[in-house]
């Protein structure tokens, strides 16, 4: 992050990178998250589930939270894009 040294107001970053845009780190985090999620969702359907006292969830219980999660991610991404467009427009006025 850099700051415009000519500006009297040093609180507004100029040319700031958007957080979470480092491709390699984002991909690694995404793959790790998906891997853990897959293991946790599959665990009740394995032989280990009996030993742990787990039972499979009804399919509808998996579909509804999955849909909510997809809507959440889409809404968060849209909100982030609108926010950064607004911030870039505000930075242009300084």
The percent of residues above 90 in pLDDT, for the chain, comes to 41
Per-residue pLDDT for 5 more than 60? no
Residue range 50-77: mean pLDDT, rounded: 92
Using pLDDT thresholds of 50, 70 and 90, give the confidence band for residue 18: low
Res 34 pLDDT > 50: yes
Please tell me whether residue 2 adopts helix, strand or coil conformation.
strand
Three-state SS letters, 12-58: CEECCCCCCCCHHHHHHHHHHHHHHHHHHHHHHHCCHHHHHCCCCCC
Asked if residue 12 lies in contact with residue 86, where contact means CB atoms within 8 angstroms, the answer is no
Range of lowest pLDDT (15-19, 32-36, 75-79): 15-19
Global pTM reads 0.50
């Amino acid at each position: 992050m850099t700051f415009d040294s000519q500006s009297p107001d040093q609180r507004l970053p100029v040319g700031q990178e958007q957080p979470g845009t480092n491709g390699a780190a984002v991909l690694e985090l995404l793959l790790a998250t998906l891997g853990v999620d897959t293991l946790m969702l599959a665990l009740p359907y394995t032989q280990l589930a009996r030993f742990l006292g787990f039972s499979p969830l009804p399919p509808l219980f998996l579909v509804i939270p999955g849909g909510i999660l997809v809507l959440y991610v889409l809404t968060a991404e849209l909100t982030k894009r609108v926010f950064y467009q607004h911030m870039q427009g505000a930075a242009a006025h300084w």
